[in-house]
Amino acid sequence: MARTLDDLAALSGVSRATVSRVINGGPVSEETRRRVLEVLERTGYRPNRAARTLASGRSGVVGVVMHIDPQHLFRDPYFAGLLTGMSNALAEKAVGMMLWLGDRTKDEILDQIQLRGLLDGVIVTAHWREDPLVDSLLDSSMPTVLIGHRRSHPEASYVDVDDVQAADTITTHLIEIGRRRIGHITGIPGSVAGADRLEGYKRAMARAKLPTEGLVVEGEFNRASGAAGAAQLIEAGVDAIFCANDATAAGALETIKAHGLRVPEDIALAGYDDLDFAAQLDPPLTTIRQGVQDQGAAAARTLFQLLEDPDGGPRRVLLPTELVIRRSTVGGVRRFD
Amino acid sequence: MARTLDDLAALSGVSRATVSRVINGGPVSEETRRRVLEVLERTGYRPNRAARTLASGRSGVVGVVMHIDPQHLFRDPYFAGLLTGMSNALAEKAVGMMLWLGDRTKDEILDQIQLRGLLDGVIVTAHWREDPLVDSLLDSSMPTVLIGHRRSHPEASYVDVDDVQAADTITTHLIEIGRRRIGHITGIPGSVAGADRLEGYKRAMARAKLPTEGLVVEGEFNRASGAAGAAQLIEAGVDAIFCANDATAAGALETIKAHGLRVPEDIALAGYDDLDFAAQLDPPLTTIRQGVQDQGAAAARTLFQLLEDPDGGPRRVLLPTELVIRRSTVGGVRRFD
DNA sequence: AGAGGGGCTGAGAGCGCTTCCAGTTCCAGC
DNA sequence: GCTGGAACTGGAAGCGCTCTCAGCCCCTCT
């Protein structure tokens, strides 16, 4: 069984260099190529990746770090979409993916990632406003693409959606349908998405000269905190609630109904994410759609660019969002489902 | 910046071999070790993984193939648990994990996996009775651990639970509480778990000399097929239903209630998996608990064994399951929650 | 005092590949 | 017939590490 390039070279009567050229698409005469390919085929030869990496300086593998509690990671379809998008984009270029999940500490992960000659670059989720792991990665020489945080670091390349703008848009939608006391149930404090969406909400409210005092309740991106938050906001006498994500909105919806109030007649409700279930709620939920798979794919492609032209400066990609209007805000009159 | 062992050797006044010994824990005098460690620390040196792999023949990275549609992958907490278990066990030994998800075709994945010098071994989910990818892997020289299929291949190492036995146990439980017309809603045809659970059900029924004709309905491991299947079985006049998993049981429960029937008085209901929501159903669901994270961890450890002693023959691990009795079968009388 | 042995250390030979550089061959052009 | 260049090929130098082997030093034992 042929194991090395030298074996193949001997078998096909050319030099090792030529076999390498055939494999990697270098300039080789048609006839030689054919002969070598035949041997390649016949022997079922597989190149040794480590040797190739060592000689060429490229590994063809990128790291993906999802620095998030695994429980959360798998409950949230957001990460599934991200991973799927990346996985597809990487596979297109036959690039491998090494994955670090969850709750490992910063140093453990860093140690592994920074082993040189293993990874060409890394994609890392940056969902927390403070994350030492992300900072270290940016300071290292490892080409890095962030998902979700427009880090102020001058060298940071990232892929993100404009959460502030999207939250502004959906809040403005609530204002345009005539609501005045619009409450907001936030995401997890410390999360970038939570902070950005709150900011967008406040911006829209300020522009419309509407009050927000007593109308902002802290949530946790989940059903339970949505249910609890809605109770507080009902108390505060709101006529609309913008929730930091769909799960929160689902919880809020339960509470509103339990109070005998109608959506949207008494309280208009809006979420964020447009997960599958948002359209299944009763009434279907007005929300913001962000192409999660696209984000994953974009991150992969951004990393490719970074690797191809390392001196081209940081790459910054802002993906569009879409306001999806359903009956939880414009109920009864027009139907969007 | 010190980049190679030679740089470090020069800086610390010893040979490259000695630096390597310090890093890898070889025999070195205390004083030399201290001196080298100091330099190591000061320079922030990171070994080159590719070079190390090439020289040593071990990469410290294992592949994980989840040959399953990504949509399904993330909906199902089973895979989340598996991945978490593996991820933890691998991290313990500072072994990296390369992941192949989903719907890639067999050859694409194989090409990448079989690159020598990249992976020390692979863990692959084997949930289908027929899977050419698994067959190829077993035929290759790559150390491989299967999760979930006791493949007949003589060299196959695997980690599995005894689905047949567990299904037998839970069916027997239904028999012991006095049920006689016990229906079964199967898993996806072609899946190992589905087939094994069906077999266990039939075995228990046969032993009790109970009929199964017309009492087996095809399902798909999901809520919808559970709801549909239950409708058929109610028609057939069952007094108990064993569902191939908890999601199926949840669907069945809805249908049973919609028919105005009581659980367990009219129809006793049992699931499989003991996912979080099983205990939250009304009534809480009797089911089979399988330690999913344990399975993942066991797979990783089994692979380690295989790598340490490749000639030790195949490793076969069968993990225990547990019958969890709740009110969906013994309602009203005793409480287990 | 000399032999023997144990503990460290350094030299050097790879691991299997890529890639630069220097041919070699073959033609077109003059 | 000779030259210049294009197209292809082979030689060889690494890539950065591991690991065997031999050598050195020093200590113990006879």
The CATH number of whichever domain residue A103 belongs to comes to 3.40.50.2300
Q: Is residue A55 part of a domain?
A: no
Mean pLDDT of all residues in A222-248: 95
Domain co-membership, B93 together with B107: yes
A321-324 vs A287-290, strand pairing mode? antiparallel
Question: Given this model, what pLDDT does residue A81 score?
Answer: 84
Q: Is residue B69 part of a domain?
A: yes
Contact flag A112-B99 (C-beta cutoff 8 Å): no
Nearest-CA neighbor of A120 among A148, A141, A151, A149?
A141
Nearest-CA neighbor of B125 among B91, B102, B107?
B102
Report yes or no: B118 at the A interface, CB cutoff 8 Å.
yes
Domain co-membership, A109 together with A15: no
Question: Given this model, what pLDDT does residue A335 score?
Answer: 44
Question: Given this model, what pLDDT does residue B277 score?
Answer: 87
Q: Is residue A80 part of a domain?
A: yes
- Element (DSSP H or E) covering residue B89: helix B77-92
Q: Chain A interface, mutation test: which of B4, B79, B116, most A Cβ atoms within 10 Å? A: B116
pLDDT in tens, A65-104: 887 776 677 677 788 888 889 988 998 888 888 888 776 6
Q: Is residue B53 part of a domain?
A: no
Domain co-membership, A179 together with A277: yes
A10 touches strand C (CB under 7 A): no
Domain co-membership, B170 together with B285: yes
Contact flag B91-A80 (C-beta cutoff 8 Å): no
Overall residue count recorded for chain A in this entry: 337
Nucleotide nearest to B52 (CA to C1'): D17
Domain co-membership, B283 together with B181: yes
Strand D nucleotides within a 7 Å radius of protein CB atoms: 7-12, 14-20
Question: Given this model, what pLDDT does residue A315 score?
Answer: 93
Q: What is the CATH number of the domain that holds A26?
A: 1.10.260.40
Q: Is residue B337 part of a domain?
A: no
Report yes or no: A112 at the B interface, CB cutoff 8 Å.
yes
Q: Measuring CA to CA, how many Å separate A16 from each of A8, A22, A36, B53?
A: 7, 10, 11, 22
CB A210 within 8 A of CB A271: no
- Chains A and B: how many Cβ contacts under 8 Å? 109
| Average pLDDT over all residues of chain A | 89
Q: Is residue B55 part of a domain?
A: no
CB A249 within 8 A of CB A243: yes
Question: Given this model, what pLDDT does residue B336 score?
Answer: 46
Point out the residue among A74, A96, A115 whose CB comes nearest to the CB of B49.
A115
Mean pLDDT of all residues in A11-29: 87
B54 touches strand C (CB under 7 A): yes
Report yes or no: B224 at the A interface, CB cutoff 8 Å.
no
Write B194-197 long-range contacts (CB < 8 A, 24+): B194/B221, B194/B244, B195/B129, B196/B163, B196/B164, B196/B167, B197/B163, B197/B164, B197/B166, B197/B167, B197/B244, B197/B272
Nucleotide nearest to B29 (CA to C1'): C8
β-bridge mates for residue A182, sequence order: A240
Q: Chain B interface, mutation test: which of A24, A45, A49, A73, most B Cβ atoms within 10 Å? A: A49
Counted domains in chain A: 3
Domain co-membership, A157 together with A173: no
CB A219 within 8 A of CB A187: yes
Domain co-membership, A94 together with A118: yes
- In degrees rounded to 5, what are phi and psi of residue B145? -120, 130
Domain co-membership, A148 together with A211: no
**CA of A297 vs chain B CAs: smallest distance (Å):** 15
Contact flag B87-A73 (C-beta cutoff 8 Å): no
Question: Given this model, what pLDDT does residue A103 score?
Answer: 66
Question: Given this model, what pLDDT does residue B113 score?
Answer: 81
A5 touches strand C (CB under 7 A): yes
Contact flag B48-A116 (C-beta cutoff 8 Å): yes
Q: What is the pLDDT along chain B (337 residues), one digit of tens a residue?
A: 668 898 888 888 898 999 999 998 888 888 889 988 998 898 888 899 999 999 998 999 999 988 777 666 666 778 888 888 998 899 888 888 888 877 666 777 777 787 788 899 999 988 888 888 888 888 888 999 999 877 677 788 999 999 999 999 999 999 999 999 999 999 999 889 999 999 999 999 999 999 999 999 999 999 999 999 999 999 999 999 999 999 999 999 999 999 999 999 999 999 999 988 899 899 999 999 998 889 999 999 999 999 988 888 899 999 999 999 999 999 755 444 4
Residue numbers of the domain that contains A249: 163-290+324-330
- Which of the pair, A310 or A89, is modelled with greater confidence? A89
Q: Is residue B100 part of a domain?
A: yes
